A and B are shown apart, each in its own frame.
Chain A
Amino acid sequence: MYARAIITLAAAVMLTACYESTDVTVHKPGVYKGARDPLLAKQRAPEQQQTLRERFALVQPDR
């Protein structure tokens, strides 16, 4: 009697294990989780972004 109950319960529990997220992205891109990196704040500044764009033009010149 108990055996049956246990088996049924176990089956039910194991069924839930069948659930798998379709997206296995465990890490969330863009969400910062570690130690503080001051670069992150710096990169948000539009001037910094502009500097990097200008730098790119320097690296890949059409001159």
Chain B
Amino acid sequence: ADMPGVTLQAVAGSVGGVPLMIMKGEGLDKKYGFDGKFEFLPHEGVFQNFLIGKSDIAMDNDILGVAIARDEGFDVTAFYPVGNLYLGIVVPGGSEAKTPEDLKGKKVGHFGADSGTTTFIRTIVQEMYGFDVLEEYEFSQVGPAALVPLLKSGEVEAIFDFESFVSEAIVATDGHYLLQAHKDYSEFTGGFAPWITNMVAHGDWLKENPELAYAVRDAYDEAIEILESTDYEVLRKDYILEGLGITSEAVLDVLIENAKSTPYFTNDWSPEKIAAAEAFLDKLSKDGLLIENVPDGVMVTLEDYVGPRS
């Protein structure tokens, strides 16, 4: 009854929050010995909310963000991966575009040049097709949710967005992925693709609550185990529908469909993967994209950072 509390946050409407919903819905927090407080916050202030210490663990930060924050003097660190790149470029049904190149000079919607979503798509396109979307596309900027009606109204020919808005957009416009970041990039590199989100915590919180950190990690492992073992059908549960704000059955179908072709979550935290991610960050900083230098300790393992489980 008197379990220690942990506040966990994710972006509202993003599938990044699904593991939290499962933890809550299936009682995994209690099972692993903590009392979870799960918060789903609008995309606008979510990182700030975490940085000012209003939640203990954020499930929605990409390693870029962590690198930037560390570089600016915030003691935050990613200690586990969460979401694969469940994002990409979506075009409506009738679109004539076959590759991202066909969108050159066209109107495209995104929600911010500095967002993880846009940055990942931008780097991937740069690498795969050799051009910079920021220069070649004519961008329109609104929030991630508003991109859907924007695409539907024909105001833009494509959008850069993440799940579940991708599924919403696909249903709303009978559309499809023009570029699925995880799938297309890992095919291109023959295996490695960076991932979008991590479990991030403040360094001192981790040091003060090592066993809680392990407990959350375990709960997460079990949550994605449930996802995979049910073939993502667990997404049909009411608490997910409500949590993600899915507007129709059709969207859910697409969401599950997409998950099957590209798994949404990962818990591969191998030294190789961390090293590859660090190399990716180095490359970004060398290209001068968003970060100037890569600070130490962006990604750690709990075992290294707080010592093995007691």
B is bound to A:
no
Chain B residues within CB distance 8 Å of chain A? none
Chain A positions within 8 Å of B, measured between CB atoms, are none
